[in-house]
Chain A
């Protein structure tokens, strides 16, 4: 798919092209998306759902939705990559937040109930120096940075963040809101 093009193929370009292929019913295009994105997608889903089997379930459902909705993807309204990951995050958050709540509980092992959580500072270190997210997160106080990072990558709710960080619920809510405003101003 990329071999016959002379120009430098950026990831976004490839995904746009592959989504057009999916819209035409080309399974090889879906497979190409799978080959390039599935490992990262499982990683993203694992951070939210903690369990491999649930993460694969979310990725499975995402690929079926990508296949069915590829026709409706409009490159003028956003990037292909963020379109695919939005479907994945929606699916994973739905699994996390409700519909399969009992499944989450079903095979619970009392001591090892969650895979080791990632430290927000370690995640910050892994962000690209060239992107603005890292620079703008560094402008936040560490505790607020931690709250918004854990919300995104582990899907923690306001209540879970309050418990985790040992601050009242109202404080968490205002931390998040203020962090969002300063991130928006910084990344604009």
Chain B
């Protein structure tokens, strides 16, 4: 990698633009390469003037209290580590008494208890994670195809009544416009708006006021003014459409 490539990598790392392999590469270089660290530091300092243009937002006292209690949790964890470090070496010399020493060691039981608590926490977090995963299994999935017959976005509905739209690739929203998502709860009826999207990122759609979506329900996306269709019906060109299928 040339010095220029590396400098570009440093700048895009500071901008937050790196993805995938390049992001991993920048993180590795930042941990190990002094010339890269210096380049990153230079870009941080060049761009730091932008930070000064952010409007101030007065923090509440509650935020400080949360930070302080975070410090306390940190401080309580420390003495245990320090004492086990201090108690360890002599015990290693007295090998025969090792078990007895462990049995009598407050720091051993403290660490043992901590390990148990950590394991329980990990287990609890894991169960929570899988429970959330399970409740987030989609019921219906629709791939919305563009005019050019390319997949443009994926729509998923969940059993709690929510639906998410995820753009694929680099979905482009024309400047000063939005895209509006429509569905046809009644195949013979008029389209109903379920969301106006201004940025190409995963968004939640509003299906709460509609009948439970069914398979083979049509979803379509039209280009509309920034705040959505002024008439309540699609006014711009339809750029993507697709029907739902049961998720397996």
Contact = CB atoms under 8 A, between A and B. Distances in A.
Interface of A: 27, 30-31, 34, 38-40, 42-44, 46-47, 52, 55-56, 59-60, 63-64, 67-68, 77-79, 81-82, 85-86, 89, 93, 97, 101-102, 105-106, 108, 110-111, 113-114, 123, 126-128, 131-134, 148-149, 151-153, 155, 157-160, 162-166, 168-169, 176-177, 180-181, 183-184, 187
Contact of A166 (B70, B172, B204, B206): B172
Contacts of A163: 170-173, 199-200
B170 A162 contact: yes
B47 A133 contact: yes
A128 B70 CA distance: 36
A31 B67 CA distance: 10
Contacts of A177: 8
**3 nearest interchain CB pairs?**
A43-B54, A166-B175, A39-B56
User: For the complex, would chain A's binding face be called helix, strand, loop or mixed by DSSP majority?
Assistant: helix
A110 B48 contact: no
B21 interface: no
6 contacts: A34-B64, A79-B45, A110-B195, A128-B52, A157-B19, A181-B4
Contact of B63 (A60, A79, A85, A93): A60
B51 interface: yes
Nearest to A61: B70
Interface in B194-226: 194-206
A168 B228 CA distance: 23
Given A68-B74, A123-B50, A123-B53, 19 more contacts: A31-B64, A34-B64, A42-B57, A42-B59, A43-B54, A46-B54, A47-B54, A81-B48, A105-B164, A110-B194, A110-B195, A114-B199, A133-B49, A155-B16, A160-B200, A164-B175, A166-B174, A168-B172, A176-B12
User: For the complex, would chain B's binding face be called helix, strand, loop or mixed by DSSP majority?
Assistant: mixed
Nearest to B132: A102
A158 B169 CA distance: 11
A110 B205 contact: yes
Contact of B59 (A39, A82, A85, A93): A39
Contact of B51 (A44, A52, A166, A181): A44
A162 to B, nearest CB: 5
Contacts of A155: 16
A184 B19 contact: no
B236 to A, nearest CB: 14
A101 B58 CA distance: 26
Contacts of B200: 159-160, 163
Contacts of B71: 27, 30, 64, 67
A113 B84 CA distance: 51
Contact of B175 (A89, A126, A165, A169): A165
B48 A176 contact: no
A40 B57 CA distance: 7
A170 B166 CA distance: 21
A60 B66 contact: yes
Interface in B8-58: 8, 11-12, 14-17, 19, 37-38, 41, 44-58
A38 B59 contact: yes
A187 B48 CA distance: 13
